[in-house]
Chain A
């Protein structure tokens, strides 16, 4: 007579039980801010298509303290996304061999973060150049 009765444990609240998973949920959660910010831009684009008055009222709305607060939070969230994106990048890439040696993970992360910094500054320079 088979006396086996394997017990399957619940997965409820799994991510709350380990700090590693809590951080994982946080960095996955930055997507909410990516979506929300894209929504703000989409609203602006739509206003732009409706003409000057609509566009200017959108620009004014962005000055609202609630929007400023949202964008401060979004800045933090997207910056954290940038950091965690490049932190995990070494795990997603095949080994990069330079001069016979494998590049360690931190070099790839540092390279990615440097590229992000350069891209951001480049964007700022471009916008500033176009605004003059």
Chain B
């Protein structure tokens, strides 16, 4: 059963360090996404795992075996690329039968295996068509069946949904997760899309500048992110700078507008510069609290996002259900409360907040 271990992995191109100090264990049957902005090293990492590129330093073991010098075709893994790579002159059935045929399995397998995997992605009725006759999402499902038909229990997905329409992507990501779990596959999936990562993964590996920033479950990364960068990357958040004015079991922070917030965090020093991160769904209007003035409202479907400014000129966003009777308008003045259990406190970064969360 495939467990993938990376230790001390590094890749250099000349003087450029693309990936460095990567240690990661992907457990058997686990679905792990490698998430990060363009240029963070995630593609380099998956190319090393697959054997397309050799690491400059460090080791990769799959199922306990050292992969040093082992070429891609001997690593026993399925690989799906962003750019759909089907054979244009073979029909759908033949494309999926390619793997079992290369493996020189018996004739009955060459008939049965493609049917089994095409059935799993609901494409049995398209078997006789050529790739160009299918839509993008369907083509990518064929690539997936082909990767699975090789019989490998380790699946590498390199931005498999990025070339597809947003709506198709949404449907396919649930499908990916369902298939992986039904077949008990170990999956390593590279993506720049935080929503995609959140809905398919058991664990997310967040990368930046060639290094791993944080490894945690989607829920932990969203609710208890370990760094300012993760807090902002994994979903939208309000970042408010302030100073610690009270410590003990809780921490009280004075914001730039002079109002105080008490949060369920500890370990911060009195007088220290800090940043509060709180997601818009954890900020709500109340009879007292931080005074703000509404500067914009945006309809988001099931909720309305309201952007407001504090007297300290900080932006503070909050959500109200779209069906609620109360409509906010530009210029409205109100008070906001922050749910102290759902807000995270960070020590203010030396380089400044903007630099710490920069996406590119």
Partners in one complex: no
Residues of chain A touching chain B, judged by Cβ–Cβ distance below 8 Å, are: none
Q: List chain B positions with a Cβ less than 8 A from chain A.
A: none
